[in-house]
Amino acid sequence: MNERQPNDRGTQECGPIEDLLGVYALDALASDEERRSVEDHLRDCVTCSDEVFSYRETVGLMASDGGQADEAIWEKIAGHLELGSEPVGQPDWDGIFGRNKPVVGGEPKDNVVQIDTASGRKSDRRRWLAISSAAVAACAAVIAIGVQSVRVDNLNHKVGQLEAAAGQPGAFQGAASAMTNPNAKHFHLVSMNSAAQYMGQLVVLPRGAAYLVGSKLPGLSQEYTYQLWSEVSGKMISVGLLGANPSGNSLTLQTGSVAKAFYVTVEPSGGTISPTSEPVAKAVT
């Protein structure tokens, strides 16, 4: 699936937008209206979006001159970070990649559970301190704990997604972005046998872009391909071919918003109009 497939394109017409992809990647569009129209399209179209990313990667190479970073600018950046728990230049190296560091207000508390990353930001802590002061302290503290917990949960979620994306092979495009999209639907592929083994995850964005992430589907001989189907109103509709060795496939679902279940079958290498074999894997919400 590394080659472009017709169904990689979104539901919108790409033609007029394609002409603008290069200049968009270079921030050279002539108006905000043009920029909005391109960005609207990119939200729908995986292939055009990938094209823009590839152009930016390309010009990024041209622009990289490897000059040494200016430490004076870093000092200004560090000043903006407003970190309180770790002075600039005195990092806790051992804890850089530690998880769930039990910190509240910058001070370790052995008896406090869970709160970690967000509490490191001074701005959050300032809000926390402001809320917990004076006569409303007790009541406000309870409310603030709730708000803070939600914030921390959200941040933990993002960290987890970034971490998962960082661990993925770099060959596929867009999956990590989809995984961090709060509006994405996540379908877990499981084998159809009695073991119901986890076979990967299908991440579907609201407007149809979909990604197969972390596929564990076993490799096939080149005469065959995995084919993904969506079930809509009892009918099986082909979503696309996953290839003999699925890895980071990107697809566009014409029926993404209404599909409730997906099936994977093994088909002849060119794919088929309708399934010719029993599904080997299934995904439901």
Partner 1 sequence: MVSELDNVSDANLVVAIARCREPALAEAYRRHGGAVYSLAKRVSGSSDLAEDVTQEVFIKLWESPERFDSARGTLRSFLLSGAHSRAVDLIRSQSARSARERKQAAEIDVSAYDIERHAWDLHLGEQVKKAVGTLPEAERRAIELAYFEGRTYKEVAQLLEQPEGTVKSRIRSGLGRLRGALSKEGVLT
Among 69, 134, 135, 273, contact with partner 1 (rule: CB under 8 A):
69
**Residue 176 makes contact with partner 1 by CB under 8 A:** yes
Among 3, 15, 33, 73, contact with partner 1 (rule: CB under 8 A):
73
* Nearer of residues 64 and 193 to partner 1, judged by Cβ: 64
- Name every residue whose Cβ is closer than 8 Å to that of residue 9 and which is 6 or more positions away in sequence: 45, 46, 47, 48, 252
Among 5, 50, 185, 271, contact with partner 1 (rule: CB under 8 A):
50
Q: How far is the CB of 82 from partner 1 (least distance, A)?
A: 10
What radius of gyration do the chain's Cα atoms show?
A: 24
Q: How far is the CB of 89 from partner 1 (least distance, A)?
A: 9
Classify 91 as helix, strand or coil. coil
Q: Which of residues 249-278 bind partner 1 (CB under 8 A)?
A: none
Q: How far is the CB of 259 from partner 1 (least distance, A)?
A: 23
The pair of structure tokens assigned to 79 is 């000043």
**Residue 116 makes contact with partner 1 by CB under 8 A:** yes
Among 62, 135, 138, 195, contact with partner 1 (rule: CB under 8 A):
62
The terminus-to-terminus CA distance of the chain in angstroms comes to 25
- Closest listed residue to residue 264, CA positions, set 282, 250, 246: 282
Q: Which of residues 11-30 bind partner 1 (CB under 8 A)?
A: 18-23, 25-30
Q: How far is the CB of 143 from partner 1 (least distance, A)?
A: 23
**Residue 3 makes contact with partner 1 by CB under 8 A:** no
* Nearer of residues 6 and 66 to partner 1, judged by Cβ: 66
The pair of structure tokens assigned to 132 is 């917990």
Q: How far is the CB of 185 from partner 1 (least distance, A)?
A: 19
- Do you know the residue count of the chain? 285
Q: How far is the CB of 159 from partner 1 (least distance, A)?
A: 5
Number of residues that bind partner 1 (CB under 8 A): 73
* Nearer of residues 170 and 270 to partner 1, judged by Cβ: 170
Among 166, 183, 221, 278, contact with partner 1 (rule: CB under 8 A):
166
Helices 32-44 and 15-25: angle between axes, nearest 10 degrees: 110
The DSSP secondary structure of 104-140, one letter per residue, reads ETTEE-TT--S--GGGGBHHHHHHHHHHTSGGGHHHH
**Residue 175 makes contact with partner 1 by CB under 8 A:** yes
User: What does the alpha-carbon distance between residue 105 and residue 273 come to, in Å, rounded to a whole number?
Assistant: 60
Q: Which of residues 145-164 bind partner 1 (CB under 8 A)?
A: 155, 158-159, 161-163
The pair of structure tokens assigned to 71 is 């430490």
Residue pair 273/265 in contact (Cβ under 8 Å)? The answer is: no
Number of Cβ within 10 Å of residue 75's Cβ equals: 11
Q: What is the separation of C-alpha 230 from the centre of its chain, rounded to a whole number of angstroms?
A: 22
**Residue 43 makes contact with partner 1 by CB under 8 A:** no
Q: What is the separation of C-alpha 103 from the centre of its chain, rounded to a whole number of angstroms?
A: 28
Q: Which of residues 74-103 bind partner 1 (CB under 8 A)?
A: 74, 76-78, 80-81, 83, 86, 88, 91-93, 95-97, 99
